[in-house]
Copies of this chain bind each other. A is one copy, B any other.
């Protein structure tokens, strides 16, 4: 059984594209994903899945009540709650969510990423 050590900074160095979550680990029925965000996403919610956002670098505004997350801060968005992630500068985020979660939730548009890369 090989246990992989994951260095977040190294992993964020392996990709450049924004708004396209990458899988870096599986824990039970959930995935750990890394994503780079900059600019404004799309209002959406997830019908069934809660979603954890942990900011590793940068600042993430979550338009619920304009909550803003900095490095070392996280928030959990319960399923069903509309949210709009906005990052003024490029921001590095670790996500924790079930395997079934789609990045745009209930919305399907050009920002939807159905097939995620693995790092």
Using a CB–CB cutoff of 8 Å, the interface residues on chain A facing chain B are 1, 3-9, 25-30, 32, 49-52, 56, 62, 64-65, 67-69, 72-78, 81, 96-98
Contact = CB atoms under 8 A, between A and B. Distances in A.
A96 B56 CA distance: 16
Nearest to A73: B7
For this chain, the copies found in one complex come to 2
Contact of A27 (B7, B68, B96): B96
Grouping DSSP codes into helix (H, G, I), strand (E, B) and loop, the A interface class, with mixed when no group exceeds half, is strand
Contact of A78 (B1, B7, B9, B98): B1
Contact of A75 (B6, B56, B67): B6
Give 4 closest A-B pairs by Cβ, nearest first. A8-B72, A27-B50, A27-B52, A25-B76
